[in-house]
Amino acid sequence: MDSYKTIFENNRQWVEKKTGEDKDFFKKLVKEQNPDFLYIGCSDSRVTAEELMGLGPGDVFVHRNIANVVNTLDMSSTAVIQYAVEHLQVKHIIVCGHYDCGGVKAAMQAKDLGLLNPWLRTIRDVYRLHQDELDSITSPKERYDRLVELNVEEQCINVAKMACVQEGYLYHQYPIVHGWVFDIRSGRLIDLEIDFVELMKRIQRVYDLTGEDWNYK
């Protein structure tokens, strides 16, 4: 119970600190949000969104679920992406995975995990798509790390499959989709340096929803 009560004391101190730094902080905050970033990350309690990026209230629109999955049938993540792109007009969409991800680890075990099965199947599909590469890695730890990275890349592709993302990029040159991994062992963010334009061109033949030629640059 003590840790529960501490939250309200923490909150009181946070309000004091914020209004001490800027007495109009909450007046400004209430007006609107205008974030440049949509962050899609894992629910893992060790992987915060704003804190690890050094950002504060109003800076980033956030969606988190187990193993940062973007699934076409998941109304929650697709609604978040659609809102962020069409209404907030975010400039960057970040899919951020992390090493030591329990969701990815669970997906690597071929066994029945009950209600989690349909969720983990998206990650198991990533394994199957890259099975040759993953099976060739002898170190279990390196294979696990690599699946974390490949899962981020595949979820970036899933973001790019959405019509709002394709149309946004085609007509306004944003949002750009980025894949990151948070290295929980060092605290560092790793940019997987996904070439978004190349990615879009690569998936166009199968996933294009715009009816346009994407060779516009």
98 is in an annotated binding site: yes
Residue ranges binding Zn ion (CB under 5 A): 42, 44, 101, 103
CB of 135 to Zn ion, least distance (A): 22
44 is in an annotated binding site: yes
CA distance 111 to 63: 28
Cβ proximity to Zn ion: between 119 and 169 the closer is 119
Q: Do 93 and 35 touch, CB atoms closer than 8 A? A: no
129: which 2 tokens?
Answer: 């798509």
Cβ proximity to Zn ion: between 42 and 85 the closer is 42
CB of 163 to Zn ion, least distance (A): 28
List residues with catalytic annotation: 42, 44, 46, 98, 101
Count of beta carbons in the 10 Å neighbourhood of residue 164: 17
Q: In 32-74, which ranges are continuous DSSP H helix?
A: 50-53
Cβ proximity to Zn ion: between 103 and 179 the closer is 103
Cβ proximity to Zn ion: between 18 and 124 the closer is 124
CB of 47 to Zn ion, least distance (A): 7
Sheet containing 37-42: which strands, arranged edge to edge? Answer: 60-65, 37-42, 92-98, 176-183, 188-191
46: which 2 tokens?
Answer: 């060790």
CA distance 74 to 68: 12
Q: Based on the number of CB atoms within 10 Å of its own CB, is 109 exposed (0-12), middle (13-18) or buried (19 or more)?
A: exposed
Q: In 87-195, which ranges are continuous DSSP H helix?
A: 102-107, 117-129, 131-135, 140-160, 163-172
CB of 31 to Zn ion, least distance (A): 34
Binding residues for Zn(2+): 42, 44, 98, 101
**Per the annotation, where are the binding residues?**
42, 44, 98, 101
